[in-house]
């Protein structure tokens, strides 16, 4: 375009904007992907290591839970933890639980005792000399307290097992003790290995009351600690499954039929006159009074011995009859006092904690109509009529049998 002076006007054409130079990303942006990759690798490595460590644990737990067992799922799980270096954890949880669950001294008592046995003992004079009534320790006396009731079917005119309950501690009026008396003259004792206890070598037998012996069965009751916990000896029918140890309390039956609870002074194997021997800790009661050291580690060190838990015990009275007792919220010292008050001149502790105390009697012959003396809802009344993990005792009417043996079939 020409202007008035004839000179072409210049047109200002804007020049294109310069291309901005590439700007490098900040350093933290550059390293983030590398950090993510490193973290991912570390996570993968950690997961692999965790899996490697967990495989044997999972395998151990699965193998333990899948093996044959008479125990409920929860108890088997706890026993697996205990058996795999977790006893300290189980003991700590139990100590906390039982300590905070224990009743306080005093407080309201109970107004009636649980019903035990079959029926009230008849007023007629029995065919044998019954044990004296257990004298109540609290007033007023509750109906039936300390009075013996038939626990099973009658043999030779009378039940060979009598049962009762009473309140054993004036400081804790709501606690109930359950006691059984076993007539030595009309019964025979038997000891059976369980599926896993004792762990020592020897025939396991039926691991339950043999079917062909149930016609004579009048009672069954729990044995002592596992060998790992108590290291008590075990012998039956001339076979020593675990060696006997001097100084441990021992429930023993001789070929003559006599039974005793004594502090063992013999060798690691019993003599030929012994049918069975089962050990568990030192004596609780000796000479009719509690022993002087009820807080040693032998009576259940894992619970400190002063923690109030279910405990069971067996003793011998002054006439040579057996006494069994179990009660909740017991220390070792209170259990010893309970047994002495019930009439034991010597007594030993059996198993402890709520899962294990079991005393069942049979109303009818053949192992029929089992009833619990100890109110243990974690075990069936017919517990020992099926294979059981732990060893146990059976009480038979003293009818025709192979003398001097525990019948295994």
Sheet containing 149-150: order of strands: 149-150, 161-166, 177-182, 322-330, 309-317, 344-352, 283-286, 289-290
Q: Using the 8-state DSSP alphabet, how is residue 14 labeled?
A: P
Q: What is the pLDDT at residue 2? A: 42
Closest CA to 304 of 153, 99, 50, 56: 99
Q: Cα–chain-centroid distance for residue 360?
A: 16
**Tens-digit pLDDT profile for residues 193-203:** 999 999 988 89
**Tens-digit pLDDT profile for residues 288-328:** 999 866 555 555 554 556 678 999 999 999 999 999 999 99
Phi and psi for 90 in degrees, rounded to 5?
Answer: -60, -45
The two three-digit tokens of residue 18, written as one number: 């310069």
DSSP letters along 67-86, please?
A: S--SS-HHHHHHHHHIIIII
290 bridge partner residues: 285
Contact 169, 137 (CB under 8 A): yes
| 191 three-class SS | strand
Q: What is the pLDDT at residue 292? A: 67
Q: What is the pLDDT at residue 76? A: 85
Q: What is the pLDDT at residue 201? A: 81
**pLDDT truncated to tens, each residue of the chain (409 aa)?**
444 444 444 445 555 555 555 555 555 555 567 777 888 888 888 888 877 878 888 888 888 888 889 888 888 898 888 888 777 787 778 777 777 777 778 777 899 999 998 864 444 556 667 899 999 999 999 999 999 999 999 998 899 999 999 999 999 999 999 999 999 999 999 999 999 999 988 899 999 999 999 999 999 999 999 999 889 999 999 999 999 999 999 999 999 999 999 999 999 999 899 999 999 999 999 999 998 665 555 555 545 566 789 999 999 999 999 999 999 999 999 999 999 999 999 999 999 999 999 999 999 999 999 999 999 999 999 999 999 999 999 999 997 655 678 888 7
The string over 119-137, giving b where at least 16 C-beta atoms fall within 10 Å of a residue's C-beta and e elsewhere, is: eebeeeeeeeeebeebeeb
Contact 338, 349 (CB under 8 A): no
Instruction: Write the CB contacts of 160 (distance below 8 Å, at least 6 apart in sequence).
Output: 152, 182, 183, 186, 187, 218, 395, 397, 398
Q: What is the pLDDT at residue 88? A: 74
DSSP letters along 299-359, please?
A: GTGGGTTTS-EEEEEEEEETTS-EEEEEEEEE-HHHHHHHHHHHTEEEEEEEEESTTS--E
Instruction: Write the CB contacts of 244 (distance below 8 Å, at least 6 apart in sequence).
Output: 233, 235, 250, 264, 266, 267, 268, 269, 270, 277, 279
Q: What is the pLDDT at residue 278? A: 98
Q: What is the pLDDT at residue 172? A: 93
Phi and psi for 130 in degrees, rounded to 5?
Answer: -75, 165
d(CA 248, CA 246): 6
Q: What is the pLDDT at residue 5? A: 46
**Tens-digit pLDDT profile for residues 201-222:** 889 999 999 999 999 999 999 9
């Amino acid at each position: 375009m020409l202007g008035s002076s004839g000179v072409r006007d210049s047109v200002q054409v804007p020049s294109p904007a310069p291309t901005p130079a590439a700007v490098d990303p900040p350093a933290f942006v550059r390293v983030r992907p590398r950090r993510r990759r490193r973290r991912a690798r570390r996570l993968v490595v950690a997961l692999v290591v965790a899996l490697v460590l967990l495989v044997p644990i999972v395998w151990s737990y699965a193998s333990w839970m899948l093996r044959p067992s008479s125990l409920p799922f929860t108890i088997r799980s706890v026993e697996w933890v205990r058996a795999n270096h977790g006893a300290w954890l189980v003991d700590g949880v139990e100590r906390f639980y039982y300590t905070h669950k224990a009743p306080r001294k005093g407080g309201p008592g109970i107004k009636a005792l649980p019903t035990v046995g079959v029926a009230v003992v008849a007023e007629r004079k029995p065919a044998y000399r019954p044990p004296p009534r257990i004298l109540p320790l609290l007033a007023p006396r509750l109906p039936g307290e300390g009075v013996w009731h038939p626990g099973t079917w009658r043999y030779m005119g009378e039940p060979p097992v009598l049962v009762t309950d009473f309140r054993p501690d004036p400081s804790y009026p709501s606690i109930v003790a359950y006691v059984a008396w076993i007539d030595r003259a009309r019964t025979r004792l038997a000891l059976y290995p369980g599926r896993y206890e004792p762990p020592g070598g020897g025939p396991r037998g039926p691991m339950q009351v043999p079917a062909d012996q149930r016609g004579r069965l009048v009672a069954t009751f729990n044995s002592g600690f596992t060998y790992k916990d108590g290291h008590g000896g075990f012998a039956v029918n001339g076979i020593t499954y675990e060696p006997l140890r001097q100084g441990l309390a021992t429930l023993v039956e001789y070929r003559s039929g006599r039974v005793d609870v004594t502090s063992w002074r013999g060798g690691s194997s019993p003599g030929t006159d012994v049918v069975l021997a089962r050990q568990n800790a030192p004596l609780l009661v000796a000479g009719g009074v509690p022993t002087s050291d009820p807080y040693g580690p032998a009576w259940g060190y894992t619970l400190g011995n002063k923690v109030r838990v279910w405990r069971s015990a067996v003793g011998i009275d002054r006439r040579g009859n057996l006494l069994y007792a179990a009660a909740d919220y017991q220390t070792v010292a209170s259990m010893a006092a309970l047994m002495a008050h019930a009439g034991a001149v010597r007594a030993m502790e059996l198993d402890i904690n709520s899962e294990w105390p079991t005393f069942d009697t049979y109303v009818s012959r053949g192992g029929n109509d089992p009833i619990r003396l100890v109110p243990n809802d974690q075990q069936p009344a017919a517990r020992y009529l099926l294979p059981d993990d732990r060893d146990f005792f059976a009480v038979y009417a003293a009818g025709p049998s192979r003398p001097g043996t525990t019948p295994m079939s």
